[in-house]
Amino acid sequence: DAMVIQNPRYQVTQFGKPVTLSCSQTLNHNVMYWYQQKSSQAPKLLFHYYDKDFNNEADTPDNFQSRRPNTSFCFLDIRSPGLGDAAMYLCATSRGFGFGGLVTDTQYFGPGTRLTVL
Amino acid sequence: QKEVEQDPGPLSVPEGAIVSLNCTYSNSAFQYFMWYRQYSRKGPELLMYTYSSGNKEDGRFTAQVDKSSKYISLFIRDSQPSDSATYLCAMSEDDYKLSFGAGTTVTVRA
């Protein structure tokens, strides 16, 4: 089945120790997104790639970086995790921008990586 | 004021009951409306998708959008324990950016 895969599902890191989260997709979608979701809160968009074009949300901390080496893979790098960065990190994909009235243009989410910072 | 407001619940209902969920929003430019279901420790999965105002039905699920009131609803008929999850509303103007509600946690008691 075509899907969005995230690894690892659970990640524990130490305060200040860099960590990388991985996302891959078999949907061949052009757009990949990273969201941060804290407990009982709405997912918060950090950034997205449209193909190779990177777009950072204005309020995303500099501590968060991303790489997309090819269509299928996207990585989230947290350079110096703080306790406040403990959250679920969600990867999502979409075919493009704008819905055009088609449900297939909406975003499809992976299962998430739960990050714990000690 | 948040762009999308959603009552966090929690909501607990007996099996077979009708579950009613809703969101209000402030951005009149929103025209695409979605409901996502998120099971514990999983990513959101798209449940319902509606364009502009009106109703949409899919099995036991009905989504309603009232753009004049800036109000959307999701109804779950004949609720099952497997419907126990957090339900997130999301909406968009017609670009990449989804605005989510914080989610309502629903428990259906057997």
| Residue B54 scores a pLDDT above 90 | no
Identify which has the larger pLDDT, A84 or B1.
Answer: A84
Contacts of B44 in chain A (CB under 8 A): 43, 90, 109
pLDDT-based confidence at A1, cuts 50/70/90?
Answer: low
A50 neighbourhood in chain B, CB within 8 Å: 96
Confidence of residue B53 (pLDDT cuts 50, 70, 90): confident
Query: Could you tell me what percent of chain A has a pLDDT over 90?
Result: 80
The C-alpha atoms of residue B48 and residue B35 are separated, in whole angstroms, by 5
pLDDT tens, position by position, A15-46: 999 999 999 999 899 999 999 999 888 899 99
> B43: closest CA among A5, A103, A80, A8?
A5
Residue B61 CA to residue B50 CA, distance in Å, equals 12
Please provide residue A63's backbone torsions phi and psi, each rounded to the nearest 5 degrees: -60, -20
Tell me the chain B residues in contact with residue A48 when contact means C-beta distances shorter than 8 Å: 96
Task: Kindly give the pairing relationship between strand B19-25 and strand B11-14.
Answer: unpaired
Digit-coded pLDDT (tens) for B4-38: 999 878 999 999 999 999 999 999 999 889 999 99
pLDDT for the residue numbered B93: 85
Residue B46 to residue A114, Cβ atoms within 8 A: no
